[in-house]
Structure 1
Amino acid sequence: MWTQPADPMGVLWLSALVAVIPIALFLVLLVVFKLSGIVAALISVAAEIVVALWAFGMPATAIAGAGFYGFLNALWPISYIIVMAVWLYRLAVASGHFAVIQDSIGSVTADQRIQVLLIAFGFGAFLEGAAGFGVPIAICAALLVQLGFRPVKAAMICLVANVAAGAYGAIGIPVIVGAQVGGVDVQDLSRTLVLLLQPLTFLVPFLLVMILDGWRGLRETWLAALTVSVAFSAVQGGALWFLGPELADLGAGIAAMGAVVLLGLVWKPKRIFREGGGEPPVLPRHTVREIATAWSPFYILTGFILIWSLPWFKDLFAPEGPLAWAVFTFSIPGLTDAVETAEGVAVTQTWAFTPLNATGTAILLAAIVASLSMPKLTTRQVWSELRETVRDLWRAIALIALILILANIANYSGGSAVIGSALAAVGPIFPLVAPIIGWFGVFITGSVVNNNTLFAQLQVTTAKHIGVPPTLLIAANTAGGATGKVISPQSIAIAAGAVGLSGRESEILRAAIWYSLGMLAFICVWTYGLSTLLPA
């Protein structure tokens, strides 16, 4: 059995410097040389293999096992969830349901401050939960422009609003990945995120109103902002605390939109705010039945995810449950019981294949059932959309797989532990800077998922050295990443394309950067505060 070295170079800072080479190379290749993510990741994986072999003395069989384990996790459950979620969204678009949804939302109110809460915040969170990967930013920014917003303002507002939902996109996949890579319980991580991120989430609706119409706008619409904040945070926080991350955005988005609609029945602002004083556009009107039918794919999705998230359903697949036979676990050659940590603990990691109780299966069934309510789509078109989804997402999936391969080799070679030991030298103040790592990771990769894949294990290792809860630093990595998504080049490019400003991304960046940095500072200070209160 091979044992990970605690300090392969004999000097801890030098060992950490060698261990960080592949990650630093990946970032440099992206930022300085502007290579594609896949090419940069391929080169970085090759560098990680060299470091693991040369500096850490990791056997080739163990490197292959660690890389294979990362590849398997990329396919199942991560890519499975992503493909199914985006497929369902594409079905809604292809059937015409989504156009009805957009019209119904846009026609609720003419006041742009309320539209921001309804569309950028509520509807954006719903789309983030259903699909993620830039979908909410693109759709909501385009819809705001259609409703008369200036393009730069529309793009910037949607980027800022996404902070409240970005940590739980695509059925909670960033949290699931963070827990998986960091080796912590998903439910524990979800509850820590409630403590860390929910205070900022509660403030986002107020911030959005102020961005659009300043203090006067907040004085006139504080009731709407408060109503949306309470509804959204209560549902999102409750889902995270009791169920997990899968429904955190879907349920909260629906609650926020419902709160706006219900409040509109009994209250309206005294002054209707429109940028530049323009008239609201005339949108097509739809019957209640048409609107209800258009939303049906997402009702169905919520229902399936809810069932899959309930404790009694999960217990069916527990080791002693009646459906335990449907959970298949496999040892990883070269890794399972072939590697031990520097502390002498054997790695017993196995890969689980769960075809029935996987979240992706819940989304698959929701898509199939929902397609029955889409008479405009033939069976051939339904499966054609699935093929197109896979074709459009293969680059994102390949990048996730490569990053997971790199991360797993770094973890099981001992590289992450060495980096964590060096970072621990910062001491108790490390939680103050932990979110910055997540912010930087998402700024570079454009994805909270990729960010957690790269840095979750590093955060866990550091947490153990300095005596704070590992879930807190993974949560900090996730929350910092959500604020970094506001100005990541990928997000800015999506927003610019959606509002017709391609080539003028710098305008959006300048408008959004201070909000991103301000929210990051809030998360940094709050993380440090929690680190002094929560037991390790």
Structure 2
Amino acid sequence: MLLDTFQPATNPLGQQWLSALLAALPIFSMLITLGALRWKAYMAGAFSWAVAAVVAITAFGMPVTMALATSTHGFLYGIFPIVWILVTAIWMYEVTVHSGRFDDLRRTFFLISDDKRVLALLITFCFGGLLEALAGFGAPVAITAAMLLAIGFEPIKSALVALLANTVPVAFGAVGLPVLMAAKTGGFEDVLDISPITGRMTAMLCLVVPFLLLLVMDGKKGLKEVWPFGLVVGISFGITKWIVSATPLYNLTEVFAAVVSVGVGIAFLKVWKPGGSTTATAPETSGGTPSKPAPDAGTTLTEAVTETPLTSRRIVMALVPYLLVIIVFGIAAIPPIKAVLASTDLQFAWPGLSGLLNSAGEAAAHQTYTFAWASTPGILLALVAILTGLIYRMPLTQIFKILWINVKKMRFAMLTIGSVVALAYVMGDSGQTLALGLFLAGVGVAYPFFAPVLGWLGTYLTGSDTSANILFSGLQSGVGAEIGPGSHLGTDSMRALLVGSSAAGGVVGKMISPQSLTIAATAIGQPGSESLILRRIIGWSLVLLVLLCLISGLMSTPVLSWLLP
């Protein structure tokens, strides 16, 4: 007989370690199928969800209909709004590419400096951060690696620099989606409980990553000759991240950081010039374009060769999409307008979950589904994509054809994200996530020193900080609830720290994810070089992970607890 209600048990087997071991089976399944067996991500996600559902039903006593209902709820939530945001972000970028204006933007960089190390920092660290903020999903690595080829870097070095630079902006990529999902999955009503923590931790990486990029580009010579520019760019990017991530415009953190750092960097070049001689090898910036970059796996670069001189008007037109994003999202963040958009949300009870309770015996949040069609970033990005196309005088049929092409490209990504969210829902609602949290809480107050590792591991496996946050934020929050009362921070602050630091840890796992490695190898025209790239990049990933673990741990103590909002 089906149960009328279901309240998750945290220790159904009577031994916490054994209950936790069973609860960890879905995670082990993801590790083995994706990491060791090298299954496709959507297949690994679907299989791991099936394992989670079986464990929920057989070990944690969740009714079959309820397990299927919450999984369906999670899958749909993965499609909308998560995939919807990704689709519209890439749509906006692709409209720019197909219009030919992106080539103008690329040519604009060659007007700034003739030193390719300076250009590489601007392209990968600053402009790559902007691309991550708006599109993500591998586009920044593919585009910036190809652009580095165009200014004279060798292929493998181009891939390494592009991957290493694609770290600090990841947590706020796709207009803040990863940190938003971290807050939601972690049980926080306000994303501003989490975003300042993640923003400040990744802002501190801005003081390190530019110098690592110079080392990779040109060894000690590059570091010695260009460090002032790296410092200026890193500080301006980091300070902007620190400030914006704690405001209602948190989802535009990387947009503002990228724009500010580019502006500051260009102004600095007016009074300082790098030493040495590493001239970019791009053709003339007026009347020609850099050599055609290698095509990448996830984006379609325009093949048209622009012969028109790069005038001020063309530069402004190339910046139109990014200016529109700032304007549109800024207007949407105004409290009265934000309230109007939120008032359009549609809520209804999800079938089969009326008897679902949380661990405290209260009605679970997943009993209700919210269709936030107008209040999510996706609708704003769709508006920007359409406006951009119209400003570029593209017919509506072409604009929506680009959307359809990208939807087809992302069909497997949709299955992956949907299955990962379904996995997170069934694990959370059945008690598996909390069972793991209770077991891990045995580490005690030392756990914050290890919290970023879960985010790093999850992003490595899934290729997405968003997916990693969905998978582990509930777990991190559960651990925080257990160790918080006896800590320096208290329960709420400890929960926020662990969720925020896990999201930060994910950014340094992105550079070694199989998805990112494949995109980078294809972008430089050397498919099959993934293992070589991995061997040369993994050391930097581990260095940055250790740094984040140290920061996270110290933030749980009086030494750095003042960094918490």
TM superposition score normalised by structure 2:
0.89
Name the structure 2 match of 1:478: 503
CA distance in 1, matches of 2:511, 2:37: 23
What does the per-residue CA deviation read over 1:56-91, in whole Å, with 9 as the maximum and x for residues that have no partner?
111123213311221231122211211111101110
Answering whether residue 94 of structure 2 is matched by residue 90 of structure 1, we say yes
CA distance in 1, matches of 2:556, 2:23: 27
CA distance in 1, matches of 2:370, 2:109: 41
> Is contact 1:16–1:418 with CA below 8 Å preserved after alignment?
yes
The one-letter code sitting in structure 2 at the alignment partner of 1:501 is Q
Answering whether residue 50 of structure 2 is matched by residue 50 of structure 1, we say no
What does the per-residue CA deviation read over 1:254-279, in whole Å, with 9 as the maximum and x for residues that have no partner?
222222222223322243335xxx85
The one-letter code sitting in structure 1 at the alignment partner of 2:74 is G
CA distance in 2, matches of 1:502, 1:176: 34
CA distance in 2, matches of 1:352, 1:496: 40
CA distance in 1, matches of 2:281, 2:251: 39
CA distance in 2, matches of 1:348, 1:45: 20
> Unpaired runs of 5+ in structure 2?
289-308, 485-490
> Is contact 2:151–2:281 with CA below 8 Å preserved after alignment?
no
Answering whether residue 158 of structure 2 is matched by residue 135 of structure 1, we say no
1:355 to 343, 348, 373: 373
> Is contact 2:65–2:352 with CA below 8 Å preserved after alignment?
yes
Name the structure 2 match of 1:321: none
Q: Within 5 A, what are the aligned runs for 1:323-338? A: 324=343, 326-336=344-354, 338=355
> Is contact 1:301–1:367 with CA below 8 Å preserved after alignment?
no
Give the drift of 1:93: 0.4
Name the structure 1 match of 2:110: 106
The one-letter code sitting in structure 2 at the alignment partner of 1:40 is A
> Is contact 1:435–1:481 with CA below 8 Å preserved after alignment?
yes
Please say which of residues 433-442 and 232-241 is displaced more in the overlay: 232-241
Name the structure 2 match of 1:290: 314
> Is contact 2:473–2:499 with CA below 8 Å preserved after alignment?
yes
Name the structure 1 match of 2:332: 308
CA distance in 2, matches of 1:521, 1:83: 33
Q: Within 5 A, what are the aligned runs for 1:149-188? A: 149-184=153-188, 185-188=190-193
What does the per-residue CA deviation read over 1:96-130, in whole Å, with 9 as the maximum and x for residues that have no partner?
01111111113421112211211010110011111
Answering whether residue 555 of structure 2 is matched by residue 530 of structure 1, we say yes
Name the structure 1 match of 2:519: 494
Please say which of residues 340-349 and 512-521 is displaced more in the overlay: 340-349
For the structure 1 residues 32 and 209, does the alpha-carbon distance in structure 2 shift closer, same or farther, using more than 3 Å as the test? closer
2:24 to 20, 23, 46: 20
What does the per-residue CA deviation read over 1:453-485, in whole Å, with 9 as the maximum and x for residues that have no partner?
111111111111111522211222111111011
Please say which of residues 381-390 and 237-246 is displaced more in the overlay: 237-246
For the structure 1 residues 37 and 248, does the alpha-carbon distance in structure 2 shift closer, same or farther, using more than 3 Å as the test? same
For the structure 1 residues 509 and 348, does the alpha-carbon distance in structure 2 shift closer, same or farther, using more than 3 Å as the test? closer
Name the structure 2 match of 1:437: 454
Name the structure 1 match of 2:299: none
What does the per-residue CA deviation read over 1:149-188, in whole Å, with 9 as the maximum and x for residues that have no partner?
0111111111111111111111111111111211112111
Answering whether residue 273 of structure 2 is matched by residue 255 of structure 1, we say no
CA distance in 2, matches of 1:406, 1:357: 25
The one-letter code sitting in structure 2 at the alignment partner of 1:363 is L
CA distance in 1, matches of 2:409, 2:359: 42
CA distance in 2, matches of 1:138, 1:348: 39
Give the drift of 1:47: 1.6
Give the drift of 1:23: 1.9
Give the drift of 1:250: 1.5
For the structure 1 residues 270 and 29, does the alpha-carbon distance in structure 2 shift closer, same or farther, using more than 3 Å as the test? closer
> Is contact 2:200–2:241 with CA below 8 Å preserved after alignment?
no
Name the structure 1 match of 2:417: 400
The one-letter code sitting in structure 2 at the alignment partner of 1:59 is P
Give the drift of 1:244: 4.2
Name the structure 1 match of 2:428: 411
Give the drift of 1:281: 4.0
> Is contact 2:199–2:245 with CA below 8 Å preserved after alignment?
yes
Dislocated runs of 4+, deviation >6 Å: none
Give the drift of 1:201: 2.2
Give the drift of 1:333: 2.6
Answering whether residue 469 of structure 2 is matched by residue 452 of structure 1, we say yes
Identity of aligned residues (%): 35
For the structure 1 residues 282 and 507, does the alpha-carbon distance in structure 2 shift closer, same or farther, using more than 3 Å as the test? farther
CA distance in 1, matches of 2:452, 2:240: 25
Paired residue total: 525
Answering whether residue 539 of structure 2 is matched by residue 521 of structure 1, we say no
Name the structure 1 match of 2:304: none
The one-letter code sitting in structure 2 at the alignment partner of 1:427 is G
CA distance in 1, matches of 2:523, 2:83: 25
The one-letter code sitting in structure 1 at the alignment partner of 2:551 is W
What does the per-residue CA deviation read over 1:489-526, in whole Å, with 9 as the maximum and x for residues that have no partner?
11111111111221122221122111110000000011
CA distance in 1, matches of 2:246, 2:365: 29
> Is contact 1:239–1:248 with CA below 8 Å preserved after alignment?
yes
Matched residue SS, 1:3: coil
> Is contact 2:249–2:330 with CA below 8 Å preserved after alignment?
no
What does the per-residue CA deviation read over 1:14-42, in whole Å, with 9 as the maximum and x for residues that have no partner?
11111111221122111222221122222
2:250 to 235, 245, 248: 245
For the structure 1 residues 222 and 416, does the alpha-carbon distance in structure 2 shift closer, same or farther, using more than 3 Å as the test? same
Name the structure 1 match of 2:198: 193
CA distance in 1, matches of 2:365, 2:404: 37
> Is contact 2:135–2:174 with CA below 8 Å preserved after alignment?
yes
Please say which of residues 23-32 and 384-393 is displaced more in the overlay: 23-32
Give the drift of 1:11: 0.8
> Is contact 1:196–1:523 with CA below 8 Å preserved after alignment?
yes
CA distance in 1, matches of 2:281, 2:62: 67
CA distance in 1, matches of 2:513, 2:222: 29
TM superposition score normalised by structure 1:
0.94
The one-letter code sitting in structure 2 at the alignment partner of 1:435 is P
CA RMSD of aligned residues (A): 1.9
CA distance in 2, matches of 1:207, 1:311: 41
CA distance in 1, matches of 2:260, 2:131: 13
Give the drift of 1:51: 0.8
The one-letter code sitting in structure 1 at the alignment partner of 2:247 is F
Give the drift of 1:280: 5.0
CA distance in 2, matches of 1:478, 1:317: 27
> Is contact 1:148–1:281 with CA below 8 Å preserved after alignment?
no
CA distance in 2, matches of 1:348, 1:197: 30
Please say which of residues 363-372 and 213-222 is displaced more in the overlay: 213-222
> Is contact 1:308–1:359 with CA below 8 Å preserved after alignment?
no
